[in-house]
Amino acid sequence: MTDEWQKRGAREGRNFEILTAEIAKATFGVTPSQHKKLKGLKRQNLRDHMDDFELIFSMLGERSTTEIHRLEKSDGVSKLKGDAKRGGKVAGIARKQLEKEIGRSVVSKQNFLEKKINKRLK
């Protein structure tokens, strides 16, 4: 994803943060910083603490965004940002449908690594 953004005019750092936040907001309804706060994370990598559904929907949002970039031949942060919202929306719609089917939110306070570590300790 970041290679795709660089090829299309985004700079590492702030541009990447903005684009990532757009995908996450459209996918989960929260920004990465809000998601980290919900999980009680400070400096840890959010992805390392996501459960399977959170990872799947993150990947769907990112992959959808990449495909939109390629189809639209997008260039420049402004256009990439619009694509990121669209790609995230694809994942967001799928997430909401799953939540309706399973009767609970996909976005969770649960911390995947803590569960894994606790299992090993038992």
Residues 87 and 72: beta-carbon distance below 8 Å: no
Rounded to 5°, angle at Cα 30 from 48 and 64: 75
**Which residue bears the tokens 């694809």?**
90
The answer on pLDDT for 119 being more than 60 is no
Q: Hey, where are the domains in the chain?
A: 2-121
Q: What is the mean pLDDT of residues 54-59?
A: 97
Confidence of residue 45 (pLDDT cuts 50, 70, 90): very high
CA 77, CA 60: separation in Å to the nearest integer? 21
Residues 110 and 40: beta-carbon distance below 8 Å: no
Confidence of residue 118 (pLDDT cuts 50, 70, 90): low
Q: What is the mean pLDDT of residues 86-115?
A: 91
